[in-house]
């Protein structure tokens, strides 16, 4: 496993792990890659849907040469504050930052004085830059913004709201996580661990839905466009779970690999050596920071999900040009996503609770509701239009 980039470089080039490259966590790296891949797929779909007339470019008016606005100075000030608050604190705690960057970046701790100083400097620079380029007579210009040009802002909004939703839903995954939140809410919310993928998807969907509606786009076409992007993003993101060994693995699997399973042995049962959680038994002759492997091999469910969802992405990518009813592709995505997650939960380690006497996980409940929503939505669309 590669808890951070230094372990990957150790495997590839033989360099010692736990060095400067430990700053780059493997899960975070592949999560960022997942957003980039999703953004590219979404870009292609928005461009295609503009060509067939489902989405249209919008004209936006803006002032040129009017100097820096209050919003620009405030946004620059906030950016400067965050850089100073976290950057200087990371430098002051360099050893801890190198070994666990997320615990520093995602915590509530920082250097307030440095943040305030750099925030003021950034705001002043924004004002000075605006004054330098200010025209005697500012003018209003009209700019045409095409749908695919909105991908960057949509991706950023989805990422921020998605991470917030994932943290929020993680609080309610079990009694233990909820009690941890009650005892220490700040550190629980700002810790580098504890993310519920369904929480991220739900919150990001709601926020992005209302955002694109305000932009003047028809959300139903955006929903169809984003369905393949969500599926491939999930597939790439699950690679981060697997290769970092973040605990999203399955239950113990001590069965011999069956003959029909043509994939390598480690994809049938795996003990996750050097996992980022440092769970399990010590690895002999290992003096690195991450030197543990699981005592018994488990189902490597993250890599299974990656393969399955990559295949589901291929199906959605094929169907996107075949389906003519707006919203139908997203309905199919809901069913696919829900079925995949519901059944993978049966062999996955997770906290459970009882609902009406039935033991289940949070993901099982949400995936069931996702399938139900997809079937109802798709059935209603078919009844309304008489076709797919």
Query: What pLDDT does 235 receive?
Result: 96
Q: In terms of Cα–Cα distance, which of 301, 170, 147, 134 is closest to 219?
A: 147
> Which pLDDT value is given to residue 192?
54
Q: What is the DSSP letter of 283?
A: P
Ramachandran category for residue 347: left, alpha or beta (phi over 0 → left; psi -120 to 50 → alpha):
alpha
At residue 81, the 3 state secondary structure works out as helix
Distances (CA, A) of 316 to 140, 228, 233, 235, 323: 43, 6, 13, 13, 10
Decide: residue 347, CB within 10 A, 0-12 exposed, 13-18 middle, 19+ buried.
middle
Radius of gyration from C-alpha coordinates of the chain: 24
Residue position matching structure tokens 């076709």: 387
Give the model's pLDDT for residue 253: 94
β-pair partners for 352: 361
pLDDT by 10-residue block (mean), the chain, 388 residues = 93 91 90 93 95 89 80 92 92 81 77 94 92 82 88 89 83 74 69 67 88 88 94 95 92 93 94 94 93 96 96 97 94 96 90 80 90 96 89
pLDDT of residue 194: 59
**Residues facing 168 on adjacent strands:** none
Residue pair 160/168 in contact (Cβ under 8 Å)? The answer is no
Paired with 144 in beta bridges are 59
DSSP strand pairing (281-282 vs 292-293): antiparallel
Cβ density class 24-53: b for 16+ within 10 Å, e for less: ebbbbbbbeebbebbbebbbbbbbbbbeee
| pLDDT recorded at residue 267 | 95
Q: How much is the pLDDT for 323?
A: 94
Sign of CA dihedral 298, 362, 37, 161: negative
d(CA 76, CA 140): 23
pTM: 0.85
Rounded distance, CA 4 to CA 7, Å? 6
DSSP symbol at 326: T
State the DSSP code for 147: G
DSSP letter (8 states) at residue 23: G
Q: What gap in Å lies between CA 64 and CA 240, rounded to an integer?
A: 43
Q: In the prediction, which pLDDT does 200 show?
A: 81
Angle at 199 between CA 196 and CA 204, to 5 degrees: 130
Structure confidence at residue 321 (pLDDT): 93
């Amino acid at each position: 496993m590669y808890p951070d980039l230094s372990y990957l470089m150790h495997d590839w080039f033989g360099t010692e792990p736990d060095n400067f490259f430990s700053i780059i966590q493997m899960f975070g790296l592949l999560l960022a890659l997942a957003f980039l891949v999703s953004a590219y797929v979404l870009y292609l779909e928005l461009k295609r849907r503009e060509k067939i007339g489902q989405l249209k470019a919008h004209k936006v008016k803006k002032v040129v040469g009017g100097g820096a606005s209050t919003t620009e100075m405030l946004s620059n000030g906030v950016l400067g504050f965050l850089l100073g608050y976290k950057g200087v604190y990371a430098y002051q705690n360099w050893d801890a930052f190198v070994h666990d960057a997320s615990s520093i970046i995602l915590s509530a701790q920082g250097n307030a004085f440095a943040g305030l100083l750099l925030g003021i400097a950034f705001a002043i620079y924004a004002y000075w830059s605006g004054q330098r380029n200010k025209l005697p007579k500012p003018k209003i210009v009209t700019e045409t913004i095409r749908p695919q040009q909105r991908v960057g802002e949509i991706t950023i909004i989805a990422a921020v709201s998605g991470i917030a939703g994932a943290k929020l839903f993680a609080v309610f995954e079990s009694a233990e996580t909820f009690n941890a939140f009650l005892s220490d809410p700040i550190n629980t919310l700002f810790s580098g661990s504890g993310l519920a993928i369904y929480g991220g998807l739900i919150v990001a969907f709601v926020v992005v839905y209302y955002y694109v509606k305000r932009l003047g786009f028809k959300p139903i076409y955006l929903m169809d466009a984003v369905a393949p992007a969500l599926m491939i993003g999930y597939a790439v993101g699950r690679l981060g779970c697997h290769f970092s060994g973040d605990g999203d693995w399955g239950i113990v699997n001590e069965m011999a690999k069956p003959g029909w399973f043509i994939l390598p042995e480690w994809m049938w049962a795996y003990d996750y050596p050097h996992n980022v959680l440092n769970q399990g038994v010590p690895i002999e002759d290992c003096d690195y920071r991450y030197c543990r492997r699981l005592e018994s091999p488990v189902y490597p469910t993250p890599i299974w999900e990656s393969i399955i969802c990559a295949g589901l992405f291929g199906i959605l990518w094929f169907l996107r040009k075949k389906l003519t009813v707006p919203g139908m592709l997203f309905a199919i995505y809901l069913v696919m996503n829900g079925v995949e997650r519901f059944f993978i939960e049966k062999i996955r380690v997770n906290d459970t609770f009882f609902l009406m006497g039935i033991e289940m996980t949070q993901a099982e409940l949400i995936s069931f509701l996702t399938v139900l929503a997809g079937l109802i939505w798709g059935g209603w669309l078919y009844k309304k239009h008489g076709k797919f």
